[in-house]
Structure 1
Amino acid sequence: MTEDILAIAGAWRDAGEQVAIATVVETWGSSPRPAGSQLAVTMSGKLAGSVSGGCIEGAVADAAKGAMNSGAPALLDFGISDERAWEVGLSCGGKLKVFVEPLA
């Protein structure tokens, strides 16, 4: 059974949490999750879903908190040629873009 990430995020928001949604919008090569995969993040640190099978979730969660603080969405780009990709653990050889937006 798959988690309904938007329903979980909505329930967190209804409970008073600040929430952001991260969505994989593009992939190239070997990518652990397909486009459309989502991760919900709360300011208090709750996570639901996945955008990478774990290898970039920490960096995406940090960006989600930044988006909640600023109110502005962000487009994140991870790839094997990017030093940050190795730093956060994306060593699978693929590339992906993740759109992060605060949930209003």
Structure 2
Amino acid sequence: MSDSEDVLATAANWRAAGETVALATVVETWGSSPRPAGSRLAVSASGKLAGSVSGGCIEGAVADAAKQTMASGAPQLLDFGISDERAWEVGLACGGKLKVFVEKLS
């Protein structure tokens, strides 16, 4: 089973157990990016995480957006990017840019 399939299986198990769950997926990358397009992060309303879309502060920002999406039901397209000069400061060690789509699982 691939990492992506593991995340989807984990999210499905959480849903089956009655949890509210959101799924974040890297949909685009430019330049150097910590995780490739297709990488996923599942977030439960109780605070469980499975998978990864990046690292550093971006992972936390995506988890926060996932909580908003779970509450509202509205999907979000998040856009992250930083210059190489500031990359380490904000947690994108390799610079680059990425877009992450966040949706509530039903």
Query: What amino acid is the match of 2:36?
Result: P
2:74 maps to which residue? Answer: 72
TM-score by length of 2: 0.87
Q: Distance in 2 between matches of 1:39 and 1:74?
A: 14
1:87 to 1:44, Cα distance in 2 relative to 1, 3 A = farther
1:90 maps to which residue? Answer: 92
Asked whether the 8 Å contact 2:34–2:92 carries over to 1, the reply is no
Q: Which runs of 4+ in 1 moved over 3 A?
A: 85-88
Q: Distance in 2 between matches of 1:88 and 1:77?
A: 14
Tell me the C-alpha RMSD between the 2 structures: 1.7
TM-score by length of 1: 0.88
Report Cα offsets for 1:43-85 as digits up to 9, x if no partner.
1110000001x2211000000000000000000000005xxx8
2:52 maps to which residue? Answer: 50
**Mind listing any 5+ residue stretches in structure 2 that lack a counterpart?**
none
2:102 maps to which residue? Answer: 100
More helix, by proportion: 2
Q: Distance in 2 between matches of 1:73 and 1:86?
A: 29
1:60 to 1:86, Cα distance in 2 relative to 1, 3 A = farther
Corresponding residue pairs, total: 100
Deviation (angstroms), 1:91:
4.3
Q: Distance in 2 between matches of 1:7 and 1:94?
A: 29
Q: Distance in 1 between matches of 2:41 and 2:81?
A: 19
